[in-house]
Amino acid sequence: MPFAGELIHVDLACGIDADGRRRGWYAVRVDAGALRALGLHPDQPTAVIAGPPPPRWWHAAAERNADRYVAG
């Protein structure tokens, strides 16, 4: 993970929904400085969409091959 432990915070809550089913909610918070270092902060020009999205086949190929490159 590109973030040091003190720069990222994950909250998890579990409970029973109004219909009686068990549900889980989570929130991930990352320090703004860490996002800025990667060019992902919303105030940076690199964080906005600058062109058309990749074609549909690209997404399908990425999902198909995702588990082939698991680092271990």
Contact, 47 vs 71, CB < 8 A? Answer: no
Band (21; pLDDT cuts 50, 70, 90): very high
pLDDT at 22: 92
The partner residues of 32 in beta bridges, in order of sequence, read none
43 pairs with which residues across the strands? none
Range of 3-12, 18-27, 31-40, 55-64 with top mean pLDDT: 18-27
pLDDT at 41: 80
pLDDT on residue 14? 92
How far is the C-alpha of 63 from the C-alpha of 72, rounded, in Å? Answer: 19
For the chain, strand residue ranges (E) read 8-16, 22-30
